[in-house]
Amino acid sequence: MPKHTHGNVLVVGSINMDVVTPIDQLPLPGETIMAGDVQLIAGGKGANAAVAAARLGGHVHMIGAVGDDAFGNTLKANLQNEGINCDRVAVIKDISSGTAVILLDKQSGQNSIMVSAGANAKVTEAKDESVYTWANVLMMQLETPVCVNVESAKRAKQAGITVILDPAPAISDLPDELFACCDILLPNETELATLTGMDTDSIPQVVAASKALLKRGSKHIIVTLGQRGAIWVTQDHNQHFTTMPVTPIDTTAAGDSFAGALAANLARGQSIPESIPFALAAGTLACTKLGAQPSIPTTDAVFAFINTSPQT
């Protein structure tokens, strides 16, 4: 059982408006195709993870930035409506809010995404130590400047809290000092391949690539494998966790839901092997609804899903 009912999660990350465009197939160069009804849905990997952590049992503070525009006002209000503290979400003048154009394949539920960073490129780390000492877990991604992640991770380590990095979108030349400050890395197979330059098609290859990545300084790597579940790898241990198969509708926030769920569970005192099945269920459920934040489940929904699984 958790050591406490709620944990404190600090999220440093991106806040975007997702322009979701349903299509039957990707257009070829020079081709014009008809699309379904466009939806504007709050997203951004940082904001998604923050919403997931908040819905799944965490008290959340968000560090990020939006533009001084209509999207920015909506995005900040949306986070506040989730109970997320936005005192450290800056409003940047003369720059647009982060925007993601998502081409959603209506047949498979898979997506192609184009991201404009906008105000996310102007995020800065919190200078006061109080927010780090308040937190149990720091959660980061790579849609904000890497230097901000490094400084935030250093401050978190000094405060003695757990640091989680979801290395997405993956960058091949991340600095070693970032890995050294991160307790847990959360790549998927594609991101793991980018980070290591190694093949990650099979489970043994994923384990081998994870072991190689551990040498850069992190203590734990949890690789998400879509419907194959996830693998937890340390220097002397690896464990494969499976999840219940579902028919995906939209995979947009699956990884962010996994990350936020993991952060919330660890923040309230659960161990990594206790937290991964919960996070897997959250990520799997997020695939069954359209949109990023609208698809992120609640704690009750996750436990209901876990209780229907024949593997538990």
* Among 4, 10, 243, CA closest to 136: 10
Out of 18, 69, 250, 256, which one is annotated catalytic? 256
DSSP-assigned states of every residue in 176-242: HHHHHH-SEE--BHHHHHHHHSS--SSHHHHHHHHHHHHTTS-SEEEEE-GGG-EEEEETTEEEEE-
Copy the structure tokens of residue 113: 């995404």
Task: Tell me if residue 256 is catalytic.
Answer: yes
Cα 218 from Cα 182, distance rounded (Å)? 5
Q: What is the DSSP letter of 76?
A: H
CB–CB of 220/185 below 8 Å?
A: yes
Q: What are phi and psi of 289, to 5 degrees?
A: -135, 155
CA 227-232-236 angle, to 5 degrees, is: 150
- Ramachandran class of 2: left when φ > 0, alpha when ψ lies in -120 to 50, beta otherwise: beta
CA 103-65-128 angle, to 5 degrees, is: 145
CB–CB of 71/99 below 8 Å?
A: yes
Cross-strand partners of 20: 39, 102
Cα 158 from Cα 132, distance rounded (Å)? 9
Which residues does the annotation mark as catalytic? 256
